[in-house]
Amino acid sequence: MTVRKMIVAALASLAWAQIPAVNSPPPPPSAAAGILFDGASLPKDWKFFNPVEDHWTMQPRRKSLLIATQRAPCVSAAAGKNFLVYDGPLPADDFEVVVRVSAEIQASGNQVAAALWSDDKNYFWIAFESYIYGGLHRRLNFQKVTQGQVAGSFERDIAASKEIYLRILREGNEYSGFFAAVDPANPFDPAKIPWMQLGTLPGIRFTGKLALCAVNYQDGAPEVGAEFYSVTIRPR
């Protein structure tokens, strides 16, 4: 069954019943602002820009939001597809954002990301993506974009991995990108996760909203499913 057919089937089932949720990922700690994509509708304060209805659905049984990738820029309210933005508050001082996500990467050009987004030309983002260089590779990429231009970038190839944590940390006027593999056997605790740091970039007087996206950034990339399970926002 294709990803699109899975979404159509899920939408049809949600029309007549709310499926009880089972086997959920562990919830974020109570001290944090934890957001779970575990219901039949988007959580409060989340909204799509340019929604494509047959390319996303809530999955209460899996406690996730499923987005099927399409050819589009990832971090873009104007040109993106199913660009998801959190309209709730972020801490005024130091904080971290941790996103739990999985992606069925199959070929070059698949991409799933989390961003601190001011507008389409100014943001920080961390992306899990695939590319071809003598074979299929997976990498993490942390960037700062200013006035539409990349102003700083760090990247790192990783071994085949499906489910990961993406993390952006703000400390003063600096923003850092991290990632880690999800260990289903251990409860979620950001303080105990063995984070791998990609790099740190300056962000003086930067303000933005949290955004999520899953796309194909290259022509011809296959449609794949990306699942977002949870978002944790913690003051530091």
Reference 84, options 231, 195, 234, 236; nearest CA is 231
Q: What is the mean pLDDT of residues 153-173?
A: 92
Q: What mean pLDDT value characterizes the chain?
A: 88
What SS3 state is found at 171? strand
CA distance 135 to 108: 9
CATH number of the domain residue 170 falls in: 2.60.120.200
- Alpha-helical (H) ranges within the chain are 3-14
Q: Are β-strands 95-103 and 209-216 bridged in parallel, bridged antiparallel, or unpaired?
A: unpaired
Residue 202 lies in a domain: yes
Range of the domain at 90: 3-12+35-235
Tell whether the model's pLDDT for residue 20 goes beyond 50.
Answer: no
Residue 30 placed within a domain: no
The pLDDT of residue 24 is above 50: no
pLDDT score of 9 more than 90: no
Quick check: is 76 in a domain?
yes
Statement: residue 23 has pLDDT above 50: no
Number of domains in the chain: 1
Provide the CA 61 distance to its chain's centre, in angstroms.
20
Quote the pTM value: 0.86
Residues 6+ apart with CB under 8 A from 134: none
Q: What are the tokens at 50?
A: 């340019």
